[in-house]
Each structure stands twice: as C-alpha cells, then as structure tokens.
Structure 1
Amino acid sequence: MSLVKAATAAVAMAASMAIATPAVAAPPRPFVFVHDNFQPASQAKSAGAVTYDKSLVPTTATAFVAELRLGGKGMEQHEKNMHGGHYKMHSGTFIFLSLRGVAADHHFGIHVHTKACGTKPDASGPHYQNKKDPKQPSTNPKYANRHNEVWLDVTTNGSGKGYAKAWVKWHFRSGEARSVVIHKHATGTTSGKAGEAGARVACVNVPFK
C-alpha cells in the first residue's frame, strides 16, 4: 500500500470515529480534526467556520478537515508503537478536506492560510508557505505551488459534496498555520497568478500542529 493510501485509510478510520463520538476528547497526536457548520461572518469570534458568500457556501454547509503529521521530533515513540520499531515512516504532513452542502458542480480553490478566520475575508492572512516568498503577495510559481503550500482544490458533485487530499514533505511551523480558506475559483499556476483563486468565500479555523 502506498504512503498516501495508507495515510488516507488512517485518517478516514480516525475521522469516522471522531464524527461518530463527538463527545469524546480530541484525538491524541499526531491527528488534528475539525468538523464544523459554517456560520455568518459576523459570528467569526465564536464560530469554527464562517462563510462570506452564502450563495456558494450556505450556513447549512459543513466542512471536515484532518491533519496527520508523520515523522519528525516527538513522533519517534508513536511510530515505534505503531510499527514495533521495524519500520520508519516518511516525514511529512497529510491533509484531508471534505465539504458538504456547498454549491453544486463548482470548482473551489482551497489553501491553508496563516491566520484565523475573521469577520472580513482577508483576516486569514496569506497562504502558508514552507519556504516563504520574500515578495508578498506571493504569485511566483517558485513559491506558490502545491509542494511549498497546501492546496486542496475541490470540484463538487451535483449534491454539493466534494473532497481533496494533499501530501507535503514538511511540517507546519508551530502557530503559523491557522485556517483553511475556500476561494471562488480554481487555483492558478502561471507566473504572476500562481496561487490566486479569486475571492475568499469561506474559512475554517484549524489548529494545525
């Protein structure tokens, strides 16, 4: 089984447990799970997820985000427990996103951002970058790409459901990745437009490790 398939299976299993038992305390490291309904932007101070465009992301919609951190400092014992010390997992971060009840047959550009959601769309700051572009806003494909950022673009089906997953070979810096932002259009990749995806239509707070 490939690394991505194995990570997907692990996240899916843990996710189903988390959703089925919401009263249970948050899963232990290295997992992070967020499962929220979107609220009006005016409630950003207390809401886990907010919408800035109810025609694309209504308040009846929900988002699920999961992070699985593999390898690195503090994970040695966890990996030993999982594999009996006979197998060293690759180091990196796996992120899974699922949306329900959003606009049907629509392609959303979605990325991890540096700040928490706010009442205004730009409150969530720029994209999180493993290697920071010295020129901001970053539209240089050398920095604004799916290997240096986390891109989770989703194309929904006729029922407004969709999911995406991403794997990067690094970990988030502590406290510097705080949300997942949903944009109106697909993410651009050309010079001068790399990473751009139109207006920010919704935001989900995620306390990434």
Structure 2
Amino acid sequence: MSLVKAVTAAVAMGASMAMATPAVAAPPHPFVFVHDGFQPASQAKTAGAVTYDKSLVPTSASVFVAEARLGGKGMEKYHEGGEGHGHHWMHKGTFVFISVRGLAADHHFGVHVHTKPCGTKPDSSGPHYQNTKDPKQPSTNPKYANPHNEVWLDLTTKSNGKGWAKSWVKWNFRSGEARSVVIHKHATDTTSGKAGQAGARVACVNVPFK
C-alpha cells in the first residue's frame, strides 16, 4: 500500500504540473504521461483525445493520464541518506492515474482502458483490455470483467467539472494491446450479465501504454 501511495503522490504532482502548463517534458521509462484537450470526433485521425458527447465532455475540457509500470518482483537496494541503506520488495504491477477538468459537473463516469486507438466512431476503441481474456465477447462475466482483471478508473466530477481516479493492478499490459482510455456515460456495472458495462462511450483518449 505504501508503494501505491508513493506512486500516487508522484503522478498527482505530475498531473498538477501538466494541468498548469500546456507543455510537459517527457518522463523517462517506465512512465507514460498524456495531457490533451478534447477535439470533435471528426478529428480523430490527428487528435489525441476526442469527444462523442459534447454535453458531457465539451471541447473545452482536458484530460491527463499517467502510467507507472513495475516490471518484476525481487529485492531492490535503497539508500536513506548518508551511509544508511536497506532493501525492499519491488512487485510487478501497473499503476494508472487519470485527471479531468471541464467535464459535466457532479456526474459519475465509467472509465476503462481499451484495446484499440480512438476513432471517429465510439466503438473504434475496441473492447476493454483484460489481463486474462474472456473467451466470450463482449465480456459481461464478472469473473473477467472486474477491476482486478481490467483497469477501471470510474470517477465523479465536482461542481467545477474536475475529477480524478487511480487503479493498481498486479500485472503489466501486453505490448501494443492497450491503446486508449474510454470515458463512459454511467458508472461501471458489476452484476452478472452486465459486468463492465457503463453506457455509451462519451469520450476517448489515445494512450501509448507500455
């Protein structure tokens, strides 16, 4: 838990900096930072983020997404200043953070990582990324469609249209198979037969996940 809190703090600081300034220096591997404003869906070929419902995600809105990836499990040596040192466990996993501003106020959005890039149509981004793929698609079985096997980032905006969420999973994305973050109209359902569903796709953000 302390590891997750530490990464959260680092990424949140990066989010604050990104929201304050339009240009952010590219961070070193294994981090991915994306900061962009939403464009009309018709501009999907060149835009980094697009909206399909301007009443919920207007073109004046912006988004910040970050990924921090830990590649394996093992002991790592660290220093605490001076000559002090010790060891701690580094666990394999992926941390994803999202921060938005300018969205519809006081609204709960379902947010997930998807397998394909954003396109002119809402379904261009493909299905949810799953660590263990459900053999039956579209996946609505809570055995597969859950926040441990997928990356869920549901958030509720405040009265000023701002909101954020984070997710920690104990696995890494397969290379090239996680390409976007999709914002849905409603909160994510968890019931059998509807698990993972969150209504219409209202916006999409291209993210080159590691």
TM-score of the two chains, using structure 2 as the length reference: 0.90
CA RMSD of aligned residues (A): 2.2
Q: Secondary structure at the match of 2:88?
A: coil
Amino acid at match of 1:166: S
Distance 2:22 2:159 in 1: 28
Give the stretch that moved more between structures: 1-10 or 80-89.
80-89
2:52 maps to which residue?
A: 52
Counterpart residue number, 1:203: 204
Q: Say how many residue pairs are matched.
A: 206
Question: Residues 80 and 206 from structure 1, CA distance in 2 versus in 1: closer, same or farther, beyond 3 angstroms?
Answer: farther
Residue 10 (structure 1) shift:
2.0
Letter in 2 for 1:110: V
Q: How far is 1:19 from its partner?
A: 5.5
Any conservation in 2 of the 1:18–1:27 contact (CA below 8 Å)?
A: no
Higher strand share: 2
Q: 1:125-164, aligned counterparts within 5 Å? A: 125-164=126-165
Match of residue 114 from structure 1? 115
How far residue 24 of structure 1 moved from its aligned partner, in angstroms, is 5.8
Q: Which residue identity does 1:167 align to in structure 2? A: W
Q: C-alpha offsets along residues 128-168 of structure 1, whole Å, 9 cap, x if unaligned?
A: 00000000000000000000000000111111111000000
- Contact 1:61–1:101 (CA under 8 A) maintained in structure 2: yes
CA contact (8 A) 2:36 2:48 kept: yes
The residue number in structure 1 matching 2:7 is: 7
Following the alignment from structure 2 to structure 1, what is the Cα–Cα distance between the partners of residues 24 and 10? 18
User: Secondary structure, in 3 states, of the residue corresponding to 1:182?
Assistant: strand
Letter in 2 for 1:183: H
Deviation of 1:71 (Å): 3.1
Q: State the AA in 2 paired with 1:30.
A: P
Which consecutive residues of structure 2, in runs of 5 or more, have no partner in the other structure? none
C-alpha deviations, 1:159-184, integer Å up to 9, x for none?
11110000000000000000000000
Instruction: Provide the identity percentage.
Output: 82
1:182 aligns with 2:183: yes
Unaligned runs of at least 5 residues, structure 1: none
Deviations 1:99-122 (A, max 9, x none): 100000100000000000000000
- SS of aligned partner of 1:188: coil
How big is each residue's C-alpha offset from its partner over 1:54-102, in whole Å with a ceiling of 9 and x where there is no partner? 00000000000000111329xx8xx667887722322101110001000
State the alpha-carbon separation in 2 of the partners of residues 174 and 85 from structure 1.
33
Alpha-carbon shift at residue 27 of structure 1 (Å): 0.8
What is the distance in 2 between the residues matched to 1:49 and 1:80? 40
- Post-superposition CA distance 1:14-54 (Å, at most 9, x none): 44455667656411111100000000000000000000000
* TM-score of the aligned structures, taking structure 1 as reference length: 0.91
Tell me: CA distance 1:17–1:56, structure 2 relative to 1, closer, same or farther (3 Å).
closer
